[in-house]
């Protein structure tokens, strides 16, 4: 049972499947370097410049990595929109392989539909009207299907 926030109390605790969030605190070894989160690894792939990648890798939070990537949009690789889904899927696979707990949670999700419950992102999540594309959820389900099949 979850508590409701009051004037004097704010209740917080991670939801059971928070591990699927790119903001969750699971370090990721990606292309020979450690990234604080899968969000960091994803945003680093937007750039070809090694100095920018390193600056991004050293941002202090997943949120900061996103802000850094947005601030440097003009330096983004030209094929980004064509490759971003494939890159995200590879990052999710690595997260599962590197973290047994994440793998367990993914397998435990069974055949349930996985939805990124983002009220503001209707590309990766289902957006404000719950009719978005949910690409992150779809990629997690693809990774899960491949895991279960093998």
pTM of the model: 0.91
Please report, for the domain that includes residue 37, its CATH number. Answer: 1.10.357.40
Residue 56 lies in a domain: yes
Instruction: State how far the Cα of 2 lies from the Cα of 31, in Å rounded to an integer.
Output: 40
Residue 8 lies in a domain: no
Residue 73 lies in a domain: yes
Residue 9 lies in a domain: no
Residue 10 lies in a domain: no
Residue 7 lies in a domain: no
Number of domains in the chain: 1
Report residue 41 as tokens.
Answer: 């690894």
Q: How many CB atoms lie within 10 A of CB 122?
A: 18
pLDDT value of position 31:
96
Residue 92 lies in a domain: yes
Residue 11 lies in a domain: no
Full pLDDT tens readout for the chain, 150 residues: 456 778 887 776 778 899 999 999 999 999 999 999 999 999 999 999 999 999 999 999 999 999 999 999 999 999 999 999 999 999 999 999 999 999 999 999 999 999 998 888 999 999 889 899 999 999 999 999 999 998
Domain limits at 98? 18-149
């Amino acid at each position: 049972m979850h508590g409701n926030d009051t004037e004097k109390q704010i209740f917080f605790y991670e939801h059971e499947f928070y591990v699927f969030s790119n903001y969750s605190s699971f370090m990721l070894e990606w292309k020979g370097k450690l990234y604080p989160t899968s969000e960091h690894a994803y945003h680093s792939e937007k750039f070809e410049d090694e100095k920018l990648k390193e600056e991004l890798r050293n941002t202090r939070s997943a949120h900061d990595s996103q802000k850094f990537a947005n601030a440097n949009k003009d330096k983004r690789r030209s094929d980004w929109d064509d490759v971003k889904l494939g890159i995200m899927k590879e990052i999710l696979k690595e997260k599962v392989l590197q973290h047994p707990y994440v793998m367990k949670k993914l397998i435990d999700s069974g055949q349930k539909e996985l939805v990124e419950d983002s009220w503001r992102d209707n590309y990766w999540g289902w957006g404000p009207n719950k009719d978005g594309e949910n690409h992150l959820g779809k990629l997690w389900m693809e990774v899960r299907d491949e895991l279960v099949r093998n």
